[in-house]
Every structure is written in structure tokens, then in C-alpha cells.
Amino acid sequence: MTETRTDDEPRFEDLPDARDADRIPAAGDRAPGHGAFAPGLAGRVGLAIGRRLPANRTGLKLAGIARPLALAGLTGGVADVEALGLKLRLHPKDNLSEKRLFMTPQCFDPEELAALGEVMGPGKVFIDIGANAGAYALFAAKAGGPRSRVIAVEPQREMRARMRFNAEANALSNLEISGVALSDYEGESVMRLVGENKGRAALETGAGGAGEAVRVTTLKTLLDEHGVEALDAMKIDVEGGEARILSAYFRDVAHAAWPGLIVMERPAVNALSTAEDAVALACAKGYRVARETRMNAILRL
């Protein structure tokens, strides 16, 4: 993982600081309100089919048949729909996570979200590391209510903008968004897309898509800057960088402040051969795997 930049990239001094994270709501006049991009008749028919499919692998496979119909006629590839009990503006054509929420929200990590929903409530704190378009963060902010606290960490500017719009649309004032990247060092790097899915990016993966200069810091520093003393739940999905983040966190933060619940991408799902086994690391620190789903491990302390 390099800390260098090219001359045409923004300098570190211009990068977002964790202490300047956006607290929702922000100005809401940048885009038409939710409902302006409602799917047309064909789209609604396709969605009705997809959302009635079983919440399993079979349902996901069958959804591919109805997907072209559901995507038909979307303006700019954007759709205003409801999913997970939220009003969402989704971009299903360029982000796999948003496509899943759009077409088959019943299949979107139901066990993981159920476990998170059981934890959230007044006074609870959840951090979503690698928030993508914010599905977990938005769900947790609503489930926890206004007296809970949710911090979404997402270095990609476009993903933060999408998340912010949806937080505003649902009046989620307890959601904060940080644009830093987390690792085991302090510095700066470049966040690059991995493939064509806009929701998948990693720090300096070498060959890849367009990149953004980002501030890099540790999870402890981020939490200190946000005034968070302890976590109740964490979701972490950072394309193979999980072990770097967690090793520094477990080293520097007292055991009593660790989250009781961690949802983490399973090592077998991540295609990066150099990724360390973060699940094994967490288990060595006292966590146990309560459940393995198709994509994730649900760990409890």
C-alpha cells in the first residue's frame, strides 16, 4: 500500500478531514426531491416480479429475467423507490449494491441486517466502514432512532453524495458521513475503482479505474475525532483491507470499547489473494462466528 500521489492529484491539505464529516441534514436543493425519478409502468411491473421472488439464491437468479423490464425507461439510470423501509434514490446500472436494493431488497443481507437491527436503539453507536451507497448505515440510522449514532466511512465522493441524498430524504439526522480511508497508518493515498462496479474501490490496487486522493487514518483516530468512546456494532467491507484496520484497532483500543457485533465480508468472497484473514484475526481476539452467510461473517464478542 503506497502513500505517494501523482502531480495531477489533489494534495493532502485539500482532502476531507474526519472532523469535518457531514452531519445530516445538509442543503437539500441540489437535486429534485425523492419521487422525481419514479419508475414507469414497465419498471414497476419488473420490480413487482423481482420483489416477490424468494429471498435466496434461486430468487437472485430468477431476478435476472425480470431485471431488463425493471430497468426499462429509467431516466439517467436513476430510480426513486422504497426498500428496507426507506425512501431511496438508487443507481442500479453502475453499482451492484444498489442494483440488489433496487431489484430484490428482500435478498439484501437479511440476516446481517436483522442482527444489526437487534443491536440498534437509543444511545447505540454503529460504524459502517466501506459504506458504499450506505445501505447498512441508512438502515441502522432508522432502526436506531434519533438518539442513536451512525458513522458511515466512505472515501468515494460520488457514493457519499448518494448516501447524503437518501439520508436527507428520510430525515436521518443521526447519520454522519466521513470521507477518509481507514488503514493502519496516518498519511494519504489514492482510492481506485476495482472493476466497473462503482461500489467497489480499494487503496492503490495498482492497475484500475479512476482514482481519488484520500486522507488515510486509523479507526482509533477517526473515533477520537468524532468523540466516540465505544462502539456497539460495526460493519466492515474494504476489499481486503479489513485486517490492517482491525489489527491497529485491537492494539490501540481497550477491549471494553470493542463492538459486540461485527459484520465482515468473508475472506473467500474477496478475490484479492494478498488479503489477510480478518475473520481469523477477530476470532483470535475473542470474537466468535455466530453465522456465515453467502457474503459475510456475523461475529459476536
132, 97 contact by CB (below 8 A): yes
Distance CA 27, CA 105 (A): 28
pTM higher than the cut 0.85: yes
Q: Tell me what pLDDT residue 239 has.
A: 84
Q: Tell me what pLDDT residue 6 has.
A: 31
Reduced to 3 states (helix: H, G, I; strand: E, B; else coil), residue 107 is helix
Reduced to 3 states (helix: H, G, I; strand: E, B; else coil), residue 167 is helix
Residue 159 has pLDDT above 80, yes or no: yes
Q: Tell me what pLDDT residue 150 has.
A: 98
CA geometry: angle at 289 spanning 288 and 294, to 5°? 170
Percent with pLDDT over 90 in the chain: 72
For residue 241, what are the contacts with CB-CB under 8 A and spacing of at least 6? 1, 182, 183, 202, 203, 275
Q: Tell me what pLDDT residue 23 has.
A: 44
pLDDT digits (tens, 9 = 90+) for 251-281: 999 999 999 999 999 876 655 445 589 999 9
> 12-26+109-300 adopts what CATH topology?
Rossmann fold (3.40.50)
Q: Tell me what pLDDT residue 187 has.
A: 94
Q: Tell me what pLDDT residue 133 has.
A: 95
> CATH 3.40.50.150 spans which residues of the chain?
12-26+109-300
Task: Look at 58-62, 219-223, 287-291 and tell me which has the smallest mean pLDDT.
Answer: 58-62
